[in-house]
Amino acid sequence: MIEPAQVRRWVAGAARSSTTAPATLCTLLVDERAPGAPFGTPVPFAVLDDGRPVIVVSSLAVHTHNLRADPRASLVVVEGPAQGWRVTLVGRFVEARGDDAAAARAAHEALHGSFGLPGFFPFVLDVDHARVVAGFGQQAWLTGADVTGPSR
């Protein structure tokens, strides 16, 4: 059985190493060449105290345009090259504002430093569901509350 607390620990631990082993952000493409197609890109991420993932993205990036047009997305977190476990967090990225933006930036900068450039914005993933694969024959769907904790 897959324990939600273990999944929360896996994701938080992966965030600490996501500068060198980033997660994959998957958005829906807003581009006339392939509208609505899945679009994946590697991103470093952090985790807020309530367990929600945070990314900080440039206003120039394709994935930022995609998120602003349609916030539905997933964040795929994998344990290194051996792929002992993987978690796909599914939900909606919300652009953080005010105090939430300050907390999101602080969490991200604590792990990855400051970009030091204008035009970068924090987005927080409100997780609806998570698909967890913990090895052969060990997989489960969990709720967003399971993965982000009861304070979500």
pLDDT tens string 7-63: 999 999 889 887 777 899 999 999 999 999 999 999 999 999 999 999 999 999 999
Domain ranges (residues) in the chain: 4-148
pLDDT of res. 152: 39
Query: Is the confidence at residue 136, as pLDDT, over 90?
Result: no
pLDDT of res. 16: 87
DSSP characters for 74-85? EEEEE-TTTTS-
Using pLDDT thresholds of 50, 70 and 90, give the confidence band for residue 151: very low
Using pLDDT thresholds of 50, 70 and 90, give the confidence band for residue 81: low
Q: What kind of fold does domain 4-148 have according to CATH? A: Pnp Oxidase; Chain A (2.30.110)
pTM of the predicted protein model: 0.92
